[in-house]
Chains A and B, each alone.
Chain A
């Protein structure tokens, strides 16, 4: 995003992670001190090979996993027992498999789940649901059961379930996985149209380049690079050093930018 569009400097960053380290109960250490800062309104890609700790990091952002060391701050609120409900409302995680995310009998109820759990009721709830579904172009499907939708539609509804909570930051785990090219482009258009901070976890490098001006590379539990997506992707040593490979025939230097 252009620097002149970012919010007033007074606004705290959407997400600040400092010194985050985590080891699973079985002793396997996944994160070794992660530091990152995402300003309000930014769209940032978090790149990394399989097993780099991307999903582990995501589960820390709303307190599902609790860090062994380090802090997570969301819009100025430190993550902790006291603010957990508030943080979970502010950090909207869209999981990889929409069937995991959509657990209610109809699309409408699913989108309403988050705001209803936060206490919204009646016409206000209905308005939130319709607005969120409208943002992803799925308003006509409100009364359908999720399992009757196509995969791309389910992914869009999954985004809507999170948007209905009016999050500070949208965290997408592999948003382009299993999507056909048309569904992929539709989702990109939707993400671009949203006025919300986005952290997109992916190893779909062209998609990251298309959507995110800035990228971070997570490798073996630490952030090893942070910079403009185009520059990172063009750095061949950096890429091959962290098992990141561009698809055949894709050149980040000549790829069109939107």
Chain B
């Protein structure tokens, strides 16, 4: 639908995954994550199956593995936390490469790592195949409170405007010889942040005025009605349903 570089996570395309209505994709990802999280951690093969499922979705969406994996890096801070677990957790210990590690901690680390990675991978796929504004339409379709959706859509629209304002203020500061060199200058930065807040607040008031002038009464008019056919729902829900089968199998086998 849209054109232009919408956001860096998005990858333009017309694959079968791209054209699915946004709310079906959102539902599918949410269900998939819930299923993954409720899988017993001992069923290691189940997580491999999930990864395989996601890989096949990525293949269908024609998202190249490099693009996908690079965006998984956002997970790194959580990985660091997971790696700490075997060292700090209580319980029986085992020796790995000469280090004494907690067995429980190892399982915990694996649990966090596997589930988080799968969750992030699914979300990155969703973001790669769905434009931001389509996501908003999907959220509204899923009956998220309209106020939240409006706030999110204004964030998208005005993010650039506010960033630009921030940049202009920085240029103005630096043009007058200011350089932040330590705590002594934090006051200046704090005042800039305050000024930015006030400017944004005033812009908010002016935007509201413009909206009221064009007949805004508290709800956004529905301009694009996104609808999904039964076939599209079935197609989108294939992912979580297959995952659910794997999960149930995992519970019965362990």
Contact = CB atoms under 8 A, between A and B. Distances in A.
A139 B188 CA distance: 45
A101 B207 CA distance: 6
A95 B206 contact: yes
Interface residues of B, number: 32
A106 interface: yes
Contacts of B212: 64, 88
B215 A88 contact: yes
A95 B209 contact: yes
Nearest to B154: A103
B217 interface: yes
Given A64-B212, A117-B216, 7 more contacts: A91-B213, A105-B136, A109-B133, A116-B223, A117-B221, A143-B2, A147-B161
Interface string B4-39: 101000000000000000000000000000000000
Contacts of B207: 100, 103
B3 interface: yes
B160 interface: yes
B217 A95 contact: no
A228 interface: no
Interface of B: 1-4, 6, 132-133, 136, 153-154, 156-158, 160-161, 203, 206-207, 209-217, 220-224
Contacts of A113: 211, 214, 216, 220-221, 223
B157 A147 contact: yes
Contacts of B3: 143-144
A112 B157 contact: no
A105 B153 contact: yes
A143 B206 contact: no
A49 interface: no
A212 interface: no
B213 A106 contact: no
B214 A146 contact: no
Contacts of B133: 105-106, 109
Interface in A97-116: 97, 99-106, 109, 112-114, 116
A118 interface: yes
Contact of B2 (A88, A99, A106): A106
